Amino acid sequence: MEHNPILVIGAGPAGLEAARGAADLGYKTLLVEKAPVLGGNPILADYAAITPDMENAERAMKRMIDAIIEDPLVEVRSETTVTAAAGDAPEITVTLAGPKGEEQITVGSVIVCTGFQHFDPGRETQMYGYYEYDDVITLVDCERMLKAENFVQPSTGDKPKRVCFIQCVGSRDRQIGNFWCSKVCCGIACKEAIEIREMVPDCQVFVFYIDMRMYGFWEDEIYWKAQEDHKVNFIRGIVTEITKRGDQVVIKGEDTTMGRPVEVPMDVVILSVGMEPSEGTTETAEIFQMPLESHGFIETVGGALNTVTTARPGCFAAGASTGPADLEDSISMAGAAVMKAAGFLRKHTLAASKSV
Amino acid sequence: MPLTILNNQLGGVPPKAKDRVFDRKGKKPEHYYRDQLFELEEKGELVVHRIAEEQDAVEIETKYGRKKKVPRDMTWHHKSCGQCGHIPGYSTSIFWLLRELGYTYEDPRDQTSCTAWNYYASSTSNPAAQAAVALRNFAQAYEDGYYPIIHCGTSYGHYKEVREELIHHPKLRDQTKRVMDKLGKPMVFPEEIVHYSEWVHVMRDAIAEHQTLDFSDITVTVHPACHYHKLVVEDAVYDKELYDGQRTAVVSSLVKALGANLADYSTWHDCCGFGFRHILVSRDFSRSFATIRKIERMKEEANPDVTLTHDTGCVTTLDKSQFAAKAHGRNVGIPVMSDAQFAALAMGAHPYKICQLHWHGVDNRPLMEKMGIDHEAAWTEFEEIAAKVKSGEIEYMSWEDC
Ligand SMILES: Cc1cc2nc3c(=O)[nH]c(=O)nc-3n(C[C@H](O)[C@H](O)[C@H](O)COP(=O)(O)OP(=O)(O)OC[C@H]3O[C@@H](n4cnc5c(N)ncnc54)[C@H](O)[C@@H]3O)c2cc1C
Ligand code: SF4
């Protein structure tokens, strides 16, 4: 069955799974990745362990990469982006821009897996001082230290004694226009809290939250574990302000359970930054004229029963390019997208062969 | 092709704050009141008072990246109510700066108090009355042909809340319209609500060019007014060059432009003590907060020569609370003034005739000495003029006497 290849854009968890799935089904696949390495945010942002199994992120992603790298049906182009697209599926001619210049290729179907970017805390409504204080860091900065097995107070290099997380940074905030819950940051904060407690047993860890959103198995596998086995303290209340007194950062906010203000010095404050559509997601949507949904992610049109079909026939989207998603969502969506793309191509090639 | 996993950033310790560079990108808030005002205008519900070309406006960046227009010329001076009586030097310094820098302005004599202060203290008024007061003042400025600028943080913040209410509540617009009809005035709303510290911010380089005193020895702390940067936060002005765009730029930008030392302290984000209502209903709390949380912290951590702010309420609370703490032997004694007064002093304004520092509670003579101002000679001059007023030789002090 002759067909134009399936184009997968973005080689994060969703894109890798889509490429693997398409090849497993016997379809030629072209995987295009902007970065020089594969693996998406878990690699680019140096994640340490991944929830819920706490597997080493690098090892987990390597397994995904190994599954496609030797497959003759998958052609991988790194440091490459799609800059233009003309025509309709199953005959879309895309222009690729990569290290060797520009090239035009005709593809049969497209799966967009261009993912998310982390919220920049400089745009936060509250006064968190990420650009002012060394010891105010993000979930991502924390992942890097955990990956290097070197969790320290950045300003001194010493082991910290008191660390806190502040949830919902850049999420659930009407003022900055990010109306959504980023879905993963509650779980990731619990995971990092556990890792910190294991790495620095003398360190007290606090999590300030509006409400902890731990769906499914993350509830007992991560959240309860953090509280019960690792003695992480959860405080319901928003921190509105971080300032510095002497060598320490001081957090100010309200403990809404106790109904009183809190003002506590901390050695390290970790901002649980949420997810926003990546620049690649916004640009790719424009190139393929795929409408964005109201939050700025790629719109899928099938409602709850079809999470991957976009308004462009033959074009699908998976993972965090469609909205906040954890790995389980991203991988499942990639599988669904491959199934739809393969189905689309098969129908068109069968129809073409019948008409011949 | 490098398809292997890179083990990035071994050691993993995040970059120091000074090496983190904030680059504002990403999703911007979608709904802007400005567009909404223009939509209402299109429907014939109100007139939007636009900043005219000849008003020589400058565009500056706000918290979330929107550009805000600040007119430099033909401004209408919206005064503060009770607080202006405490620090008359705030307004006169603004007038003096405008005159020295060659801009025209209107000093209206029939402006109404915004009444927001009582509203915050739950002691008077209702949304329709509040909105009508705001619109009456805006209509007056519009009819006078000048653009309103406000130096009182309370009015400034409250008018922005009124804007939000008017945009979203047709019934309120209707009620307000009926009041305006009775007054015979049009429903007018300015396209931007502008604060005088924003005007000073855009003028800071011009002010520095006219600077006659050397401030390099002067250490300054800044108190940003809550009503300015915490209420309707998206309207406050930020600048990448100041605190990496993380704190409002107004006032601090002037300190830098004038070559003074901008010093930090840990409670900069706290209220001055005025509160939205506390100064009226819980005055002792206000006084204690102002002195213990703000002034003493500044003293301990930065020991400034002066602290600057940009709201009449903040100046008076920080300044005039200190006498009580002093009586209790506490570590206080920092002169307080507005950004406009500081700018005027830098350009050589008379400390008493223009900046009216004699109305301030804390002894500011050591500060003046450090600034190179002969305050004794200045006071003698001031008393000579005052004697003429007393004797009836002149009715009041005029610009010619300054
Ligand atoms: C701090 C943090 C920790 C997390 N840890 C976990 C965890 O432990 N467990 C879990 O389940 N989830 C976790 N998540 C969520 C997880 O990162 C996402 O579910 C997952 O990365 C989404 O995969 P993706 O492939 O859709 O997107 P991404 O990982 O964002 O990958 C997108 C890829 O597309 C590429 N790309 C972008 N634009 C273009 C373009 N124009 N052309 C070509 N390529 C492009 C990017 O370079 C990238 O490689 C975490 C999230 C955060 C914020
Ligand atoms: S997952 Fe938790 S931290 Fe993240 S946005 Fe949702 S509630 Fe906030």
The tokens of A275 are what?
């997810």
- Ramachandran class of B37: left when φ > 0, alpha when ψ lies in -120 to 50, beta otherwise: alpha
Identify the pLDDT of residue B3: 41
Interface contact flag, B12 A243, Cβ < 8 Å: no
Give the number of other CB atoms < 10 A from CB of residue A102: 10
Identify the pLDDT of residue B83: 64
Is residue A211 scored above 90 in pLDDT? yes
Q: Compute CA distances B382 → B65, B178, B364, B389, B396, whole Å.
A: 46, 49, 16, 11, 12
Residues of B in contact with A136 (CB under 8 A): 17
Mutate to test the interface with B, among A176, A179, A268 (most CBs of B within 10 A): A176
CA distance B63 to A83: 32
DSSP A125-142: SSB--TTT-TTEEEHHHH
In this structure, which amino acid lies at residue A45?
A
Across the A/B interface, how many CB contacts are shorter than 8 Å? 125
Residue of chain A whose alpha carbon sits nearest to that of B65? A123
CA distance A333 to A18: 9
State the distance from the centre of ligand 2 to the C-alpha of B83, rounded, in angstroms: 43
Residue whose C-alpha is closest to residue A107's, from A85, A122, A129:
A85
What is the dihedral angle through the alpha carbons of A240, A226, A224, A330, rounded to the nearest 10 degrees? 80
Taking residues A92-97, report their average pLDDT.
98
Note if the bond before A90 is cis, omega within 30 degrees: yes
What's the per-residue H, E or C state across B196-259?
HHHHHHHHHHHHHHCCCCCCCCCEEEECCCHHHHCCCHHHCEECCCCHHHCCECCCHHHHHHCC
Residue A126's pLDDT band, with cuts at 50, 70 and 90, is confident
CA distance A191 to A347: 44
Are B353 and B389 a contacting pair, CB within 8 Å? no
Sheet with A101-107: strands ordered across: A81-86, A92-98, A101-107
Are A81 and A96 a contacting pair, CB within 8 Å? yes
Alpha helices by DSSP H, A86-241: 139-147, 185-199, 218
Is residue A110 scored above 90 in pLDDT? yes
Identify the pLDDT of residue B114: 84
Does residue A31's CB lie within 6 angstroms of at least one atom of ligand 1?
A: no
Interface contact flag, B245 A119, Cβ < 8 Å: no
State the distance from the centre of ligand 1 to the C-alpha of A282, rounded, in angstroms: 15
CA distance B294 to B308: 12
Identify the pLDDT of residue B342: 98
B216 Cβ under 8 Å from any chain A Cβ: no
CA distance B7 to A149: 13
Partner A, chain B 63-82, Cβ-Cβ below 8 Å: 64
Identify the pLDDT of residue B81: 80
In chain A, the percentage of residues whose pLDDT exceeds 90 is 87
Are A29 and A9 a contacting pair, CB within 8 Å? no
Q: Which of B29, B244, B301 sits opposite A132 (nearest CB)?
A: B244
A210 Cβ under 8 Å from any chain B Cβ: no
Residue whose structure tokens are 């510095």: A244
Identify the pLDDT of residue B22: 87
Q: What is the DSSP letter of B348?
A: T
Sheet with A6-9: strands ordered across: A74-77, A29-32, A6-9, A109-112, A315-317
Give the number of other CB atoms < 10 A from CB of residue B332: 22
| pLDDT in single tens digits along all 402 residues of chain B | 444 444 445 578 999 998 998 887 766 665 678 899 999 999 999 999 999 999 999 999 998 888 999 999 999 999 888 667 789 999 999 999 999 999 999 999 888 888 887 787 777 778 899 999 999 999 999 999 999 999 998 899 999 999 999 999 999 999 999 999 999 999 999 999 999 999 999 999 999 999 999 999 999 999 999 999 998 888 999 998 898 888 999 999 999 999 999 999 989 999 999 887 788 878 888 999 999 999 999 999 999 999 999 999 999 999 999 999 999 999 999 999 999 999 999 999 999 999 999 999 999 999 999 999 999 999 999 999 999 999 999 999 999 888
CA distance A203 to B289: 33
CA distance A129 to B131: 36
State the distance from the centre of ligand 1 to the C-alpha of B53, rounded, in angstroms: 48
Identify the pLDDT of residue B5: 46
Are B302 and B331 a contacting pair, CB within 8 Å? no
DSSP A37-50: SSS-HHHHTT--EE
**Whole-prediction pTM value?**
0.87
B30 Cβ under 8 Å from any chain A Cβ: yes
A176 Cβ under 8 Å from any chain B Cβ: yes
Please choose from A116, A128, A168 the residue to mutate so as to test ligand 2's pocket, defined by most ligand atoms within 8 A of CB.
Answer: A168
User: Which residues neighbour B53 within 8 Å (Cβ) at sequence distance 6 or greater?
Assistant: none
State the distance from the centre of ligand 1 to the C-alpha of A340, rounded, in angstroms: 22
CA distance A285 to A123: 24
Identify the pLDDT of residue A67: 93
Residues of A in contact with B4 (CB under 8 A): 37
Nearest protein Cα to ligand 1, atom 13:
A326
B168 Cβ under 8 Å from any chain A Cβ: no
CA distance A230 to B81: 57
Taking residues A274-281, report their average pLDDT.
96
CA distance B298 to B301: 5
Has the ipTM of the complex gone over 0.85?
no
Identify the pLDDT of residue B380: 98
Are A266 and A162 a contacting pair, CB within 8 Å? yes
- Closest approach atom of ligand 2 to CA A186: 2
Nearest protein Cα to ligand 2, atom 8:
A168
Is residue A352 scored above 80 in pLDDT? no
In this structure, which amino acid lies at residue B21?
V
Residues of A in contact with B26 (CB under 8 A): 117, 119-120, 123, 276
Are A290 and A299 a contacting pair, CB within 8 Å? yes
B16 Cβ under 8 Å from any chain A Cβ: yes
Q: Compute CA distances B206 → A173, B98, B337, B344, B348, whole Å.
A: 38, 11, 20, 12, 14
Residues, chain B, total?
402
A271 Cβ under 8 Å from any chain B Cβ: no
Identify the pLDDT of residue B80: 85
Residue A63's pLDDT band, with cuts at 50, 70 and 90, is very high
Q: What is the DSSP letter of A292?
A: B
CA distance B33 to A327: 39
Residue whose C-alpha is closest to residue A277's, from A320, A337, A241:
A320
Identify the pLDDT of residue B85: 78
